[in-house]
């Protein structure tokens, strides 16, 4: 349908209608059949396509190439034609987007990075007078600038509305376009919805079918008015969660504000250069296909990197639809090779595996998975687990599986997260004889004989530390991470894995403690950032007030007052201990109880030591300092600090 946007709009409207039908038929769950690495490969391909299209706007050049690869290659040939006055706008914008996350000043963070890009482009526009057509000499060359380099918004926005043309509805290209839009938009929306569930501090679960109906209806309206397909946007959802938004009304307000900005600030928008928007899109495209994306796939397993890369390459040389099916085919071929069984037997081991759920005498539900548990088994797994009562004890035994892939591990971990949140307990067993290409807890696993697991030098040092002090040490991945979500810090930060756990007892205060390596996410999909830290949890002998202590910056005092209006707790200051209040940001719900708990002795101890993130959930403390895996000596320091901290706390017996 290339060359006629009105035919594409018609395809968008039809695609939205199909999404509504899929939602009404409760087929939202079918999105689970697409391997996540294939989805990320499609997103990476979209990123490359966006980058290739927008980089020429950022450079002030043009390309007549028909393919994405050709457009990228053209960048090299067009270097002599770069317009420096356009390029400086794009370069400054890209630098802002890169360094924005490294800046900790609250007055800068209150304005989103893309807005800074647009604001900082205005002085260049006015300085070089982009409003009038003229030429500027630079190093002996002449470059043109003028209104064509600025955003063009009509005086009456209604004049820009386009309408769909259904003239090609009886052709194959039309329906291939509809299928591509439906598959990409639906899978991306449902994947984003599941990702948002992990960020939600209130631990709610999205009804995927209702979400699909809502998105389909919105897509039909958007297409009818000349707009693009509507999808769930993980970046906006992440911002909403971090801003203490509690419902989907935040999305509506976001849309209303955008409409108001376009209508009210149209004169300002006409002053924004296309290169500034191109900078934002170039950065977005790069993030979708950045080295970090490939590293994340590699960390999950070499095979995931293969699935992502093959999907990306197939998509770039064909189209999105071929990319999806090509990626799935590559995944299936590799699964068959790894399982070392014939083609027919492979599919029998998926659809006739004999997996069952047994109710044991102690009330535990024993889920025995057998055969091949890969992405094609996802729907059968859902059906197997759906009848297990919420809040019950569940044991998932994978000892009789020949292969367990990343998609199934993700679904099992999602089931465990939801079940644990509702008071149940899910144990995963039977993977001792399986091997994976990485230690990641979601990595594809195939069964072999018993494998001797390698131990690192750091793990050897931690084992010696445990032996010396009479502590216990567990180096394997621990699946039981649900308790950490009881702390505010991890309410909206999904935990990937916990490992290298040291446990001990503070005999003086009768407090059990644990310190372990944690890998957690901030955001998801496009907004994903993966962090590592070492966290100590101390279970307290008695209940104490809930509070959070962090380092206080120059602008935190100002913004703590602003944050109160969004439902956050304000900074609690002690007039008689101004040095403590200047050093620490202390917040919590019960200010009176917190003031009573923070005695002179406790305040003095905290003042004399390095600043840690300290959080109380009422029954336990969480302490960490570094956003990296702590060295052995740093672990000793954290343990010593935490146990000494207990000595200065006033526990009411």
Question: In this structure, what token pair is assigned to residue 286?
Answer: 């790069």
Q: Report the chain's mean pLDDT, rounded to a whole number.
A: 88
Using CA atoms, how far apart are residues 345 and 372, in angstroms rounded to an integer? 10
Using CA atoms, how far apart are residues 159 and 291, in angstroms rounded to an integer? 42
CA atoms within 13 A on the CB side of 571: 23
562: number of Cβ within 10 Å: 12
CA atoms within 13 A on the CB side of 452: 0
Angle at 225 between CA 224 and CA 230, to 5 degrees: 80
Among 161-170, 393-402, 484-493, the minimum mean pLDDT is found in 484-493
User: What are residue 637's phi and psi, to 5 degrees?
Assistant: -65, -40
Place of tokens 């006055």: 85
Hey, is 304 helix, strand or coil?
Answer: helix
pLDDT at 565 over 70: no
User: What are residue 388's phi and psi, to 5 degrees?
Assistant: -75, 125
Of 549, 536, 653, residue with least CA distance to 598: 549
214 touches 230 (CB < 8 A)? no
Q: Report, as an integer, the average pLDDT of 191-202.
A: 76
* Burial label, 522 (beta-carbon count in 10 A; 0-12, 13-18, 19+): middle
Q: Answer with the residue of higher pLDDT: 602 or 236.
A: 602
Using pLDDT thresholds of 50, 70 and 90, give the confidence band for residue 527: low
Task: Summarize pLDDT for 141-178 with one digit per residue, the tens.
Answer: 899 999 999 998 777 767 778 899 999 999 999 999 99
- Indicate the DSSP class of residue 611: -
Using CA atoms, how far apart are residues 653 and 639, in angstroms rounded to an integer? 24
pLDDT given at position 559: 39
Where helices occur in 352-449 by DSSP H, the ranges are 378-385, 406-421
End-to-end CA distance of the chain: 75
Using CA atoms, how far apart are residues 18 and 113, in angstroms rounded to an integer? 36
pLDDT given at position 1: 65
Question: In this structure, what token pair is assigned to residue 397?
Answer: 């035994």
Using pLDDT thresholds of 50, 70 and 90, give the confidence band for residue 566: very low
Hey, is 428 helix, strand or coil?
Answer: strand
Of 637, 548, 542, 639, residue with least CA distance to 598: 548
- Indicate the DSSP class of residue 10: H
Q: Which residues in 413-447 are b (16+ Cβ under 10 Å) and which e?
A: bbbbbbbbbeebebebebbeebebbeebbbbbbbb
pTM to 2 decimals?
A: 0.78
pLDDT given at position 558: 37
pLDDT given at position 562: 38
pLDDT at 127 over 70: yes
pLDDT at 409 over 80: yes
Share of the chain above pLDDT 90, in %: 57
pLDDT given at position 629: 92
502 touches 478 (CB < 8 A)? no
Query: In CATH, what number does 346-448 get?
Result: 3.30.750.24
Of 267, 238, 283, 259, residue with least CA distance to 116: 283
548 touches 587 (CB < 8 A)? yes
Using CA atoms, how far apart are residues 389 and 242, in angstroms rounded to an integer? 32
236 touches 23 (CB < 8 A)? no
pLDDT at 570 over 50: yes
Q: Answer with the residue of higher pLDDT: 543 or 449.
A: 543
Q: Answer with the residue of higher pLDDT: 441 or 553.
A: 441
- 3-state secondary structure string across 270-302: CCCEHHHHHHHHHHHHHHHCCHHHHHHHHHHCH
Question: In this structure, what token pair is assigned to residue 196?
Answer: 């948002």
pLDDT given at position 181: 92
Using CA atoms, how far apart are residues 129 and 146, in angstroms rounded to an integer? 7
Using CA atoms, how far apart are residues 522 and 59, in angstroms rounded to an integer? 32
Question: In this structure, what token pair is assigned to residue 157?
Answer: 């926005």
The separation between CA 527 and the C-alpha centre of its own chain, rounded to angstroms, equals 5
Integer angstrom CA distances of residue 226 from 6, 8, 188, 245, 645: 8, 9, 21, 30, 61
The pairing of strands 547-551 and 613-616 is: antiparallel
Q: Report, as an integer, the average pLDDT of 559-588.
A: 68
Domain chopping of the chain, boundaries: 5-317, 346-448, 458-647
The separation between CA 565 and the C-alpha centre of its own chain, rounded to angstroms, equals 26
| Helices 632-647 + 457-469 axis angle, to 10 | 30
Hey, is 121 helix, strand or coil?
Answer: helix
Residue 348 is inside which H or E element, if any?
A: helix 343-351
């Amino acid at each position: 349908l290339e060359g006629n946007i009105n035919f594409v709009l018609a395809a968008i409207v039809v695609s939205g209608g199909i999404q509504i039908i899929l939602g009404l038929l409760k087929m939202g769950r079918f999105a689970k059949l697409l391997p996540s690495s294939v989805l990320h490969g499609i997103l990476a391909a979209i990123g490359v396509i966006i980058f290739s299209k927008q980089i020429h706007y950022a450079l002030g050049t043009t390309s007549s190439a028909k393919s994405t690869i050709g457009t990228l290659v053209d960048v090299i040939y067009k270097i002599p034609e770069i317009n420096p006055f356009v390029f400086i706008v794009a370069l400054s914008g890209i630098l802002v987007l890169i360094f924005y996350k490294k800046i900790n000043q609250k007055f800068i963070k209150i304005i989103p990075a893309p807005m800074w890009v647009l604001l900082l482009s205005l002085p260049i526009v006015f300085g070089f007078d982009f409003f009038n057509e003229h030429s500027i000499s630079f190093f002996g060359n002449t470059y043109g600038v003028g209104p064509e380099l600025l955003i063009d918004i009509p005086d009456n926005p209604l004049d820009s509305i386009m309408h769909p043309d259904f003239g090609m509805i009886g052709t194959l290209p039309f329906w291939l376009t509809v299928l591509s839009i439906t598959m990409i938009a639906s899978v991306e929306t449902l994947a984003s919805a599941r990702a948002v569930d992990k960020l939600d501090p209130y631990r709610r679960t999205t009804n995927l079918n209702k979400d699909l109906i809502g998105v389909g209806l919105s897509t039909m309206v958007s297409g009818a008015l000349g707009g693009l397909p509507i999808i769930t946007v993980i970046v906006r959802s992440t911002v909403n969660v971090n801003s203490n938004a509690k419902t989907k009304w935040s999305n509506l307000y976001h849309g209303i504000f955008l409409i108001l900005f376009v209508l009210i600030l149209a004169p300002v928008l006409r002053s924004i250069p296309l290169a500034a928007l191109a900078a934002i899109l170039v950065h977005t495209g790069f993030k979708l296909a950045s080295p970090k994306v490939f590293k994340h796939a590699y960390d999950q397993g070499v095979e995931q990197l293969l699935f992502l890369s093959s999907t990306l390459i197939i998509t770039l040389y064909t189209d999105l639809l071929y990319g999806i099916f090509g990626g799935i085919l590559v995944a299936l071929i590799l699964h068959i090779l790894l399982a070392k069984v014939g083609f027919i037997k492979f599919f029998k081991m998926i659809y006739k595996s004999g997996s069952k759920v047994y109710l044991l005498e102690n009330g535990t539900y024993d889920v025995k998975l057998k055969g091949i548990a890969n992405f094609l088994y996802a729907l059968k797994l859902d059906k197997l687990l759906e009848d297990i009562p919420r809040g019950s004890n569940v044991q998932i035994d994978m000892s009789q599986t020949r292969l367990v892939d990343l998609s199934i591990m993700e679904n099992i971990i999602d089931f465990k997260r939801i079940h644990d949140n509702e008071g149940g307990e899910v144990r995963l067993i039977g993977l001792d004889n399986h091997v994976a290409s990485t230690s990641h807890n979601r990595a594809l696993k195939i069964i072999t004989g018993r494998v001797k697991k390698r131990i690192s030098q750091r793990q050897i040092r931690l084992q010696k530390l445990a032996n010396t002090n009479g502590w216990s040490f567990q180096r394997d991945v621990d699946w039981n991470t649900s308790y950490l979500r009881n702390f505010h810090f991890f309410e909206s930060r999904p935990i990937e894995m916990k490992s290298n756990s040291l446990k001990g007892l503070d005999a003086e205060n009768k407090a059990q403690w644990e310190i372990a390596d944690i890998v957690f996410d901030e955001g998801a999909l496009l907004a994903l950032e993966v962090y590592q830290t070492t966290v100590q949890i101390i279970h307290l002998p008695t209940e104490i007030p809930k509070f959070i202590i962090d380092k206080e910056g120059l602008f935190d005092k100002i913004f703590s007052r602003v944050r109160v209006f969004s439902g956050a707790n304000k900074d609690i200051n002690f007039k008689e201990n101004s040095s403590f209040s200047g050093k620490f940001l202390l917040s919590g719900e019960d200010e009176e109880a917190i003031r009573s708990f923070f005695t002179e002795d406790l305040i003095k101890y905290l003042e004399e030591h390095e600043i840690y993130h300290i959080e109380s959930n009422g029954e336990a403390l969480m302490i960490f300092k570094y956003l990296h895996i702590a060295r052995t000596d740093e672990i000793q320091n954290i343990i010593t600090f935490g146990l000494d901290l207990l000595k200065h706390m006033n526990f009411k017996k």
